[in-house]
Structure 1
Amino acid sequence: MATKEDDQVIKENNCETKMGLPCVLEAFSSIFKTGSISNKCCGELVVLGKFCHSALVKRTLENPLFKDLNPATIIAKSIQRWNNCLALIDPPSPSA
């Protein structure tokens, strides 16, 4: 599912170094298992960027440990987490 482009995006953007381990684990659990993500980790996720977030989720889905998970469900959850964090960190301005 992940492509060479995903791996390149991860390397070129230093995706694996942009979030602290506690937040990586929290975000991972909220997407691949159950649970929520704290405001602090939402902030780190948004700083990580959507490209990194998507590429890392896709790459994780390639791991044989997660072969029983439905990729469509995981990707939907990752998009939902991303959108929730984005709204929390950068709330839309009220219309005048």
Structure 2
Amino acid sequence: MAKFTSQIALLFIVVGLVCTFVPVFSVNESEAKSLWDTCLVKISPHCALDIIAIVFGNATINDTCCHDLVQEGKVCHDTLIKYIADRPALIARAALYLKKRDDLWSHCIAISKTA
């Protein structure tokens, strides 16, 4: 039960981070719902936080999260990271974040092929 509670808490953290980093005016309601329905539900909250920490920080990813990321799909990964990187506070380093996004995707594809 404690594990379930912590997973719910992580889900709320991920949703909060996405809401914080995604400007309301850049995502219309139907587009945000589409992203939620097709992308965020495919990946665990823990892995979503790890991916954000990798792209926007200096964290590392484990093989399980790599597999989740590949299952989420490149379009979802690219779109979600682009939305976050387009925040006014982050846009000056958007090129770096997009490169890290692409590097992470390549790394995870390589991990998935070896499993």
TM-score range, shorter chain: 0.7 to 0.9
Deviations 1:1-25 (A, max 9, x none): x787xx47x5386111110100000
Contact 2:35 2:76 in 1 (8 A): no
Query: Which protein has the bigger helix share?
Result: 2
Q: TM-score, normalised by structure 1?
A: 0.77
Shift in Å at residue 67 of structure 1? Answer: 2.5
Match of 2:73 in 1: 49
Contact 1:13 1:52 in 2 (8 A): no
Aligned-residue CA RMSD in angstroms?
2.4
Counting aligned pairs with the same residue, the percent is 26
Q: What are structure 2's unaligned runs of at least 5 residues?
A: 1-25
Query: Which AA in structure 1 matches 2:101?
Result: S
Give distance in 1, aligned partners of 2:64 and 2:45. Answer: 13
Query: Which AA in structure 1 matches 2:103?
Result: Q
Q: What are structure 1's unaligned runs of at least 5 residues?
A: 92-96
Q: TM-score, normalised by structure 2?
A: 0.65
**Higher RCO, 1 vs 2 (CA within 8 Å, ≥6 residues apart):** 1
